[in-house]
Structure 1
Amino acid sequence: MPLSFVLVQCGKAPSAGMLAANAHASSGDTFEDRFPTPTFKERFPTTSESLVPRQPAASAPGGRTARSAPAPYRVASLAPTVPYQRPPREDQTMLVGLKSSAFPYLGTNPRTDEPFLNISKGDRRGHRSYGGRVYWQDQTYNDNRVLMHVPENFDVRKPGVIVVFFHGNGATLERDVRDRQLVPQQISESGVNAVLLAPQLAVDAADSSAGKFWQPGGLKRFVNESADHLARLYGDPRAARAFADMPVIIVGYSGGFMPAAWSLEVGGLGNRVRGVFLLDAVYGELDKFASWIVSNRSGFFVSAYTRSTRRHEHELMAMLKEKGIAISDDMDGPLRPGSVVFLETPEGVTHRDYVTRAWTENPVKDVLVKMAATPALTRVATNSPSHADR
């Protein structure tokens, strides 16, 4: 898809100060093309196609009408006689609008306790970012779509996970998450029993605002609303219950650190969150990431980074070491409950391409493969309390 303009951040990492502060393809067919009005001939059968009226039976000798033997009656059963069979299918990817997605958002910014939409011009409302730039609601904060993906080989009867992917600044779901960063493709190619939910955040903007994910229970509402849609995409509406209980892995790239951090802090999923994977994303909210790591030793935490976030990564590592948390600096083995990994990638690895090239090609795929080596990370959680339930 040709870009109509060059992103400010293209080819380089966004400003750390800006990120820390910031703490629709449609079909060209018309309705008539897709649903043509039936012609008279299509709606009304010809004479040869019409049912022929039944003729009266011939009279039996003596003037009596011949009667056929009564047919045996059958009682209808309320139970299906044939079990539901999911039809053969391929990878399923769809954009679905959800009320619980990040935007539109009419609440407050928890960092300032002021309305998020803090500027107006005529009938338009917008948000003035920390850097002073104004983004209008109708252009930037009005897309409630979610990129959903169910791989061809996903089996709801087996242990699986929901990957919630928070994209970075200057992104759209189709152009970036799907086509450039190949997140659905990485999930399919991992072979792991996983599905994808990727909400649209600020559209094509240098803004990390979390929208409804700032709100207590925001992530829980988002995942719960998604369950029915995932089941339909999977091809079996009865699968909704399984999706509603499935463990969750949070992946945040770049400016996606903000909704990731707040989802851990107030999202309401408790120990259903089995892992966090940050891709050059520690621009702020260190206390929230540290708190989750210390309090959730049944999950894993992986943060890969370039020099763009090196300072904050080292600060977070120091906070964890003070709490006695062991830290690894390689991804050679499987991820286990309690694994904490910080990976610094070499010079030449660019921030812009980080979702497809970090310490390895397709890092989302690699993390899922290493996670799947530990069955405990994909088991359905019990309802034990956690600080994330607040």
Structure 2
Amino acid sequence: MKRVAHLVINLHHGGAEQLVVRWVRARLAALGHDSTYVVTLDELGDLAPQLPEANLFCLDAKRHRKPWDRAAVRDLRQFLQAKQIDVVHSHNLAAQQYGVLGTVRSAVALVQTQHGANTHVLGMGNRLRSAALSRLTDAVVAVSAGTRDSMVSQQFIPAQKIRLIPNGVAAYSQVDELEVARMRAQYGLDDCFVFGSVGRLAAVKGWARFLPEFAAFASQVHAVAGGQPAKLLLVGDGPERAAIEQQAKSLGIADLVVLAGFQTDPQPWLALMDVFLLPSLSEGLSVALLEALEGGLYGCVTDVGDCGTVVREVGHGSVLAVETRAWSQQLLEIYQARPKRRVAALSSSFAGRIYSQSHCLECYEDLYTSVAINP
């Protein structure tokens, strides 16, 4: 067994952070309480209570200090030595920088996973920083082919340096139907056709361009005599929440948009939906999309990262047109077709098996063993 420490900026709610928490919980259950830790740079974050306190360590790094916070690097090195860590697994660029500084000239190996195209690295300075850090990293992982291609073209990382390990989710587990019915009533979703999504409410998720098309679609539904009402359920929180609320009001659809806020367990919320939406401007491989497909939902996504690829492989969904003005018609066609749920669409299909959590974690275990300096 290799002792692993995941290094992240924080454990606030986000796709990558949720993944780290799930991976750590699974590894602790399989390999024991001293097998896996999480180190945060800035603060612990909202998801931290889901992990044992003894397996968390916060560096409280002052990242504004140039070129870096030397005290945080010292504390990281001391932690790795005290816990006899074999592999540091960093997630995205800022964590990778401290991972390199904390492991260089030591017996600790460094694995870096990039979870998306990461538009924040498009500046030349960050591109060069990414390229330099990758040379000092034992293994670099992309979660999707699209992310890998972006790393090659935008961050100057050689293709042969990058390993592809798709994100994976747990197999479908049945939800309490009575609880689902209660939640539908509580949020005004009874007798509604529900389009929904789970994720951070950030500009990159594309809601600003989607809402006008949803309003146009809703007006068409309203014009159909006896048409079942359609609503939009957004589960998550983030910097764009207030803007989404204001835009919905200005479009006259505030009563059709339900903002449920951040939820620790997305499964009951996915059960409220009829169609899962992902109108993102940029993605790697959305874990929420994988969970939605495993739960039987029809996926409606933009062709970013590997999201369109997964929907095509599983054969239960559609890809939104490049031109946003076509989206309202696509939504109407989906609404009229009433796609049925295909529970376990991922784990029961040959193509989807590579998106299982077990397959993902097996790939990482093999990687940890191959890069670890100590046998």
Same fold (TM over 0.5): no
Q: What TM-score do you get using the length of structure 2 for normalisation?
A: 0.35
- If each structure's helix is expressed as a fraction of its own residues, which one has the higher value? 2
